Amino acid sequence: MNTTINYLELLKNNQLKVTPQRSVILEQINKFGHIDIDTLYMYVKKQFPNISLATLYKNINAMLEKTILKEVKIAGIKTKYELTKAQHIHTICNKCGAVEDLFIDTNTISEQIKSETNFIADECDMNFFGVCKNCQ
Amino acid sequence: MNTTINYLELLKNNQLKVTPQRSVILEQINKFGHIDIDTLYMYVKKQFPNISLATLYKNINAMLEKTILKEVKIAGIKTKYELTKAQHIHTICNKCGAVEDLFIDTNTISEQIKSETNFIADECDMNFFGVCKNCQ
DNA sequence: CTGGGTGCAAAGTATTTGCATGAAC
DNA sequence: GTTCATGCAAATACTTTGCACCCAG
């Protein structure tokens, strides 16, 4: 049920050396879906007790630049990171805090924006706040 | 053409004391539409050379709590603040950096989300990245 | 072997807190 | 007069940088 991702190829294809630290970082981000730096640090430390926060930041930044990762900035909570995947939006539950992906079409709105304002959008972030199924 | 806002009432109605500093803060945020803390500090200092960053942060946080203000977190740029107003979305130009408001309907998507996932959304943030009319 | 990655320490930036004084109501 | 805001200094949190050493290719 979990998508298998080839971290090795992902790194190689982006001219980043494959190190065990990087593999674990990607593994953990994928496991959590969305994770903030401190939680990630905590989990990566379980496999690399000596890894430094600086290394984590450096790697995160390198992968952000290569667009392997994406920054998820959400009002009210710490910035999280996710693997870059198909265009999707986020739902954030105000009760339990869960952040979920939802793969829905966003092009319709982009086109509406273009016709109304001439702004040509090629990307978007959408965050919906409310109450998730489980918390209702 | 500029909406006149009664900062006095806005503060009073939210149980916040009316101080000249607060009025100027609201004035500047309104003038810029969206502004980050450093730019705001710079402009507020023109009228209150002795104001401290701490005071600015305290006021911003107080007004965020009362929902007079809203945090605008956008991937890649510094967090900005705006006055709370009718539901709207943001367009961010990748060339000139301009952040603009766009008042379009978001309920249709909220309903789509509800019917697809049972997530009940009561609010959303939407940021579209691309090229604005002027920069094309 | 060579270039880039790692870990540490230190620097830099951002944000919050505590407290004495002063202004709002 | 009482409560809360302000401004300063200090503390804390967050992120980046420099450098010596080490590993991936």
Give per-residue pLDDT as tens, A99-118: 999 999 999 999 999 999 99
CA distance A29 to A96: 20
Q: Does residue A135 fall inside a structural domain?
A: no
Mean pLDDT across the stretch B99-106?
96
- Shared domain check, A72 and A14: yes
B6 confidence band (pLDDT: 50, 70, 90): confident
* Residue B122 DSSP code: E
What residues contact A96, with CB distance under 8 A and at least 6 apart? A132, A134, A135
Q: Does residue A2 fall inside a structural domain?
A: no
- Shared domain check, B107 and B75: no
- Shared domain check, B62 and B26: yes
Q: Amino acid identity of B43?
A: Y
- Shared domain check, B110 and B78: no
* Residue B78 DSSP code: -
Count: domains in chain A: 2
A107 vs B contacts (CB less than 8 Å): none
Using an 8 Å CB-CB cutoff, list residues of chain B that contact chain A. Answer: 70-76, 79, 91, 93, 100, 102, 104, 109-110, 112-113, 116-133, 136
A1 confidence band (pLDDT: 50, 70, 90): very low
Q: What is the CATH number of the domain that holds B97?
A: 3.30.1490.190
Q: Does residue A99 fall inside a structural domain?
A: yes
In this structure, what are the phi and psi dihedrals at residue B35, rounded to the nearest 5 degrees? -145, 140
